[in-house]
Structure 1
């Protein structure tokens, strides 16, 4: 793809910024290895190029939610340690074993399926046991932990698995001082100690996500799992901006202005006429909508930089387009409209859109749809 060609819309992904973010995160956790989480197509940024860039910058692990995401990395030739954790019964266990993935096990059904797959493949599976220390999603409850540990050790003794990790996930690490953080950390230490006392020798113990990596050094253990922070978005906007943490947003979402026209005062705009022009003005048509991931909840509030000025979505966001009131300005069709980016040029950020839509910046970047091409720039590492 021509990186400078005019497009209806584009999500420019700055891989130099991503590499710098990984180096910054490594500096926050110098005694731990770093996993770059590239689930959900690298939070909407493009899994394969982002995975490669993260490895170039010193990440030694990659993480995905689904096994299919992890297998796609392998199919693209991505080497090294890749972990995936969101399994359902009947999943591609054998393919994962043969691809040398690390797979997460939260309960006995999963252990049975991975043991069967390893037996069929004729090679041991890399297994990481997940403890539910209080998040209440996946992970093994403390009451069931002894059985899972015992059976995993039996499978390891039989050559079916290698227990490579013990791990858990925080519920409220983005709220420093929340009592659940301390409680989860204490329980994780206890569950790890139980497993190790019975003979588990994990390569890595890990619980720290992006906010814990940045704010809770005692949670770093052997490995930190960094997701949203890799992409330059603050996991805790209440306590720090990306710049406060030494991070830079990686994605810039822009579109080409499709139409500029004069309308009289009192003219309704978009479905339902929730916006009516107060005076004669000019309207600009932005050719992206909720099918492209623009939140409909940001109707009337979403910010856009056009012609050097912040504009606001006028009326409802439609499936393929929305309108901004240009206040009489007349930029040419084709003028760049920047929905969000790092903020260097005065443009809104993903966090600004999150506030406008009543959500979090994670959702803003991950929901950008497949009709918007990802244009990866700065692919080559400096030096």
Structure 2
């Protein structure tokens, strides 16, 4: 029988009416405990895979090997991702196992995805799947270490790392919140996972309180630090800041050995020194030393001490200031105005200079 436009139109109206009745009545279950039908799950998985493949086109991993630091990615995964996905080689945690859809088991097909696809999923999340987007969209540099960890993970190796981590926890969890700090910053304030993590040893208590508070309030952008700081109250922040501010660092010989500038010519360090101490009046760049003294006798306790800090970290922070990503506070706005005038060579020179220094604590 040949259908007329009128009969098609009537049919669509009837379908809409039935759909409206079903929607309003609430007869369709949305309980997670029922799971998806097999065909629904297959269609959703297919659609998700195709969407990720399409929208991740053009994403390229950074050339900088430091930006793909799987050691940092391991600790970020432990802090941000383990609750839902479990640890590689282990079952999904019981709570996450009750989700619909369930988080994928690591070590399965998900780890065979291209780096660009994993990056897209971690940075943007997946709708209707409980997979959140990265807390700070402007910090892709924090996502790539997690991608590196997932791509390089080996179940036996990773389980060994987790065992060592657990055995260390009992000895370090004396201050509320310290466990999360120690994983990356160590008990002594020196990075355990690479140059992307700053040295806390020797920083003032006032500065550390300010930094943690800004992370907690979302005034300083970091998808790694924000979730951790959000769980801390004022008392815990003060305790953690006091602990790291009073670490007995001596002359920071550990920092000197970890942040020694390699393959950097002396001219770069000298250019950085000149810019740090004198600034550049023609470009309205203030001298860094006006706020960032090189030793522990500084009167600017609300500012970070940069001497002995890793070159990669200093350079990256200057980039973030220049891109207005760290301009949510009054101090950040002042730094952003300065950093916008810095060239890439200026940033590298300043980073090399400060990484070549050490400072001395008061006796």
TM-score bracket relative to the smaller structure: under 0.3
Report which of the two has the higher share of strand. Answer: 1
The TM-score, its normalising length taken from structure 2, stands at 0.25
Kindly indicate whether structure 1 or structure 2 has the higher relative contact order, using CA contacts under 8 Å at least 6 residues apart.
1
The TM-score, its normalising length taken from structure 1, stands at 0.24
Larger Rg computed on CA atoms = 2
Report which of the two has the higher share of helix. Answer: 2
